[in-house]
Structures are given as C-alpha cells and as structure tokens.
Amino acid sequence: MLTIKDLQAKVEDKDILKGLNLDIKPGEVHAIMGPNGAGKSTLGNVLSGREGYEVTGGSVQFLGKDLLDMEPEERAREGLFLAFQYPVEIPGVSNLEFLKASVDAVREHRGQEPMDSVSFMKLAREKCKAVNLDQNFLKRGVNEGFSGGEKKRNEIMQMMLLEPSVCILDETDSGLDIDALQVVADGVNSQRSPDRSFIVVTHYQRLLDYIVPDYVHVLAGGKIVKSGGKELALELEEKGYSWIDEEVA
Ligand code: ADP
Ligand code: MG
Ligand code: MG
C-alpha cells in the first residue's frame, strides 16, 4: 500500500528525515511514537506534499505509483489523507462546501458523478452524528473558531467522508479529553478495513488502548530506530526514549 525507502528530507536547509524506511500493507495500523522534534510531523507533511518540505533522497510507492512524483491534490485524490496536528482554519468557506468540494474531487477522479446536494447533506449529517459534532458545524467556516477537540473531530469526519486508502493521523489525540478521545478512536476504528491503512502518530500510549495498532515504531533523529508490536508502546510509556538512544548508539 505504502512503501517508504530511505526517505530523506529537509526543511529550511536543515536535514530532518535521514533515511526512513516503512512498509505498510493493506489493513494495517502503524503507530509512530518518538521524542519531540524527531520528524514525525515532517514525515506526514512530506508524504502529503506540503510546500517547504524538500525531498533529498529515497522513494515512496503508494498503491504502485511514485507518490513523490504527484502533486499534493493528486495524492489526496488517489486516497492519501492527512489529519493535521494543527488543523488550518479557512474563514469564509463553509465546512459543508469544503467537504462537498473535496468529496466531489475524489469522486471525479474515480469516474463518478458529483453527489447531489440533498444526498450529500444527509451523508454529512450522519457523519457529524458519528463524531458527536452538532450539525451547525457544517454551516460554520472550516475550523473557524472550533475548539481543539472540535477541529480533531472535524478531521475525522472529513476522513469518513473521503474514504481514503491511507490515513495519517498526526497527534490527533493531543489536547483531547477522554470523551473526545473515545469519539475520535471510535471514528478511526469504524473506518478500519482490509483495504485501508493507518499511520497514527502519538506521544501517548493512552490512545493505543483505544486504537490498537499492529505495529509500533519509534522515530528518532529522522529515522525509524525501533519497531515492535503494541507492547512496545507500553515499554516506551514506562521507560521513556533514552534507552533507545543507548541501544541505537
Ligand atoms: P515532531 O513532529 O516529531 O515533534 P517535527 O517534524 O515537527 O517533529 O520537527 C522536526 C524538526 O524540524 C524540528 O527540529 C523542527 O523545528 C523542524 N521543523 C519542522 N518544520 C519546520 C519549518 N517549517 N521550519 C523550520 N524548521 C522546521
Ligand atoms: Mg511534536
Ligand atoms: Mg509533530
């Protein structure tokens, strides 16, 4: 589904990713943990093609195609979804319009007609309910004045509507209270399927009690330095990251 080989990238002339390898098969959930500044958000940004992130080496295959060769919009249309650590506000554009335009772009790419407004409204309302957001959030500007938790729920709703193949969730749990965490986790779990994969970036083991990963990786110094099963997250929670530095050294 997604094969990352020896990926290297820099931001503002600073090398951040330094030979990152990761192989994600359909249906798998991979958690990425690691110290602050390790390059976790950079990985998500590089994969989604965000401006300012320069790839200096390595390759990424996505569903058999060269991901790095695609424009950001094309990556999204092909089924790559990134839920941002800090979702952006787009004042003046209603959430509903934004969601419909995104969904219609994906549908067009798949050779499907745009959805009619009434059906889309019905669908969007269902998804609002699924993430416990009031329907008023569809009328408001995209993320405009949303609380941290509401932004994260909105991201999950967007994911549900877009039905991507690979979902990258960057610290979707940060700043959430337990109830919101449960809603977000339920949303993700409801979307798990044999042909959809997830990369879940988190600082806390807690999220992984709700979203149980197949693999846990530690990203440090721009590389995956250790991989294991879900028990690795517990070990990290208990021992921190310093023992890994020692092991790597
Ligand atoms: P993480 O998500 O693991 O905490 P990031 O990927 O956000 O780490 O950051 C990795 C490093 O890259 C940090 O040292 C950070 O300051 C730097 N970095 C990330 N984005 C930028 C940027 N736009 N400009 C300058 N430095 C950046
Ligand atoms: Mg961070
Ligand atoms: Mg980050």
Q: Is the CB of 13 under 6 A from ligand 1?
A: no
- Cα→Cα distances 133→61, 89, 120, 126, 182, Å: 35, 17, 17, 10, 13
Dump pLDDT digits (tens) for 147-198: 888 998 999 999 999 999 999 999 888 778 888 888 889 989 999 999 999 9
Q: 227 φ, ψ to 5°?
A: -135, 150
pTM of the model: 0.93
The number of beta carbons lying within 10 Å of the beta carbon of residue 153 is 24
Question: What pLDDT is recorded for position 9?
Answer: 98
Question: What pLDDT is recorded for position 212?
Answer: 95
Domain assignments of the chain as residue spans, ordered by start: 2-248
**Is pLDDT of 249 > 80?**
no
Residues 6+ apart with CB under 8 A from 101: none
φ/ψ region of 111 (left if φ > 0, alpha if ψ in -120 to 50, else beta) reads left
Q: Is the CB of 199 under 6 A from ligand 1?
A: no
Query: For 94-108, 165-179, 203-217, which range has the lowest pLDDT when averaged over its residues?
Result: 165-179
Ligand 1 centroid vs 85 CA: distance in angstroms? Answer: 12
- Cα→Cα distances 239→161, 215, 222, 245, Å: 39, 18, 21, 12
Dump pLDDT digits (tens) for 25-64: 999 999 999 999 999 999 999 999 999 999 999 999 999 9
Ligand 1 atom 8: the closest Cα is on which residue?
A: 37
Q: Is the CB of 49 under 6 A from ligand 1?
A: no
Dump pLDDT digits (tens) for 110-120: 999 999 999 99
Q: What is the CATH number of domain 2-248?
A: 3.40.50.300
Question: What pLDDT is recorded for position 87?
Answer: 86
Dump pLDDT digits (tens) for 71-81: 999 999 999 99
Q: Is the CB of 12 under 6 A from ligand 1?
A: yes
Q: How confident is the model at residue 17 (pLDDT cuts 50, 70, 90)?
A: very high
Angle of helix 117-130 relative to helix 148-162, nearest 10 degrees?
Answer: 130
Ligand 3 centroid vs 216 CA: distance in angstroms? Answer: 16
For range 82-98, the mean pLDDT? 90
Question: What pLDDT is recorded for position 189?
Answer: 95
Q: Is the CB of 37 under 6 A from ligand 1?
A: yes
Question: What pLDDT is recorded for position 223?
Answer: 96
Q: What is the mean pLDDT of the chain?
A: 93
- Cα→Cα distances 5→26, 62, 65, 200, 205, Å: 17, 12, 14, 19, 27
**Is pLDDT of 139 > 80?**
yes
Percent of the chain with pLDDT over 70: 100
Question: What pLDDT is recorded for position 181?
Answer: 87
Question: What pLDDT is recorded for position 173?
Answer: 80
